[in-house]
Amino acid sequence: MRKLATVLVAAAALTAVPAAASASAAGALDWGECPPDSVDLGQECATVSVPVDYANPAGGRISLAVSRIAAARPESRRGVLLLVPGGPGNSGLDRPWKLGARLPQEVKDRYDIIGFDPRGVGRSNPVSCGLTSDDVRSLSQWPGPGGDISENVTRAKRIADTCVRNAGPLLRHISTRNEAHDIDQIRKALGQRKISYWAHSYGTAVGAYYATLHPGNTDRVLLDSSDEVDPNVLWRKVMANQAIGVEDRFPDFAAWASRPDNPDRVAGSPEAVRPLYLELAARLDQAPIGSFNGNALREAVVRGMNTDAGFPLIAKTMNAARTGGTPPPFPLPPENVLQNIAAVAGATICNDVAWPTSVQVYQRDVLRSRAQYPMTAGMVANVAPCAFWPFPADKPVRVSADGPSTILMVQSTRDPAAPLVGALRLRRALGQRAAMVTVGTGGHGVYLQLGSECGDRLVTAFLVTGQRPGGDVRCAR
């Protein structure tokens, strides 16, 4: 759930993490069985102890759950490949068998594939605010018809107050900077002088921070589906960029939704799909069908863009709006998982950087975004609980070109969640440290996920040999 505009905060008292083995950050890990609810496909688990607050390392510790699938050919082993999950708030403990299993054999031969739950997530001291079911399931701060945000302001303040009232001490220490420092503790616990990692989506911000804060400890760094991380614009610009991403991606849906052989066809030509969508959303704003309003249609569009598999959800929702029918339900995780994701996402975006506190600023930006990008109707610029957050922001991290040239970026040209415009800004900030492979496809998540033979080949060669393209490369697909 990379859409962060309203997936907001929670926390709880620090708890022990159940796992089979543990180690201090300076010690060796003794791997054991994974938790009973994990799928055992040769995956081992352990825990790593890290400070709650890196500014006060003696002030308490928490445990991070980590996992491993050992290198298939120990005699060829190069090191470890850490899989950094997206979110913020996504679990990564099972990524070695879920995502790592897709890796080419020559990569699995050379690396221990490592997963982890970031602090506050899953089995790494999970946090929760105990938000109401309505608040935690309403994932986006959609403005009212005409762009009014008064109800959004009330909700954002309620969520912030609830989190501050109910959350435990970990709340204020969940941030991108601290996750980057946690990765260095994992590296030490694994006994590695340097670490390679494949970071996806929000994880690329963590990866860029790590490469900035610990440049000498990076081996081969893969940043997959990035956005900009300039502290002057985080997180509001990252969210606002999603309006650009939806516009970039929508033509892919329009071509699919107008195919004559499509049982969910919505229009006779690609050019007719966008105006139809805008018309249906405006109609539902004025005359909702029960709880099915214009924002429910907009939510389906934003949610369905990340992969082509989401296109039927959008089309069925549009057709229901046109015929007065019932839209398909949104697939959601269990509520306890939603509570956890909302907690970590909100804490991260609010702790990373300072946010405007003026309601007028958000109202102005919503109206401006609605006029420029009507498909997202101002949601991406709306107020968040961060406007009412009482904790000071972390010290800014400014990514720069200082450091070894060990980074490869891979990016879709039509990514709805992390649009190319933001990735190009991160590419410029990294300078000579990075090369970039751009793939001419739509979707979020590139390597081994979009079927790009060109892009996959270049990334695999980098992981196996360390060789990057001589310069930035564009793959047609």
Question: For 291-301, what is each residue's pLDDT tens digit?
Answer: 999 999 999 99
Check residue 233 and give its pLDDT: 86
Does residue 330 lie within any of the structural domains? no
Check residue 1 and give its pLDDT: 37
Percent of the chain with pLDDT over 70: 93
The answer on pLDDT for 13 being more than 90 is: no
Percent of the chain with pLDDT over 90: 87
**Strands 79-84 and 61-69, how do they pair?**
unpaired
Does residue 210 lie within any of the structural domains? yes
Does residue 329 lie within any of the structural domains? no
- Same domain? 283 vs 237: no
pTM of the model: 0.93
Least confident of 13-17, 191-195, 301-305: 13-17
**Strands 195-200 and 22-23, how do they pair?**
unpaired
Does residue 328 lie within any of the structural domains? no
Check residue 28 and give its pLDDT: 78
Check residue 12 and give its pLDDT: 31
- Same domain? 41 vs 146: yes
Does residue 421 lie within any of the structural domains? yes
The answer on pLDDT for 355 being more than 90 is: yes
What distance in Å separates the CA atoms of residue 125 and residue 148, rounded to the nearest whole number?
38
Q: How many domains does the chain have?
A: 2
- Same domain? 145 vs 247: no
Which residues form the domain of 459?
Answer: 1-241+335-477
Contact in structure between 117 and 65 (CB atoms under 8 Å) = yes
Q: What is the mean pLDDT of the segment spanning 443-462?
A: 97
Contact in structure between 419 and 448 (CB atoms under 8 Å) = no
Among 427, 446, 444, smallest CA distance to 435 is for: 427
Which H or E run includes 184? helix 176-189
Chain mean pLDDT for the chain? 92
pLDDT in tens, 49-61: 999 999 999 989 9
Backbone angles phi, psi at 212, to 5 degrees: -85, -45
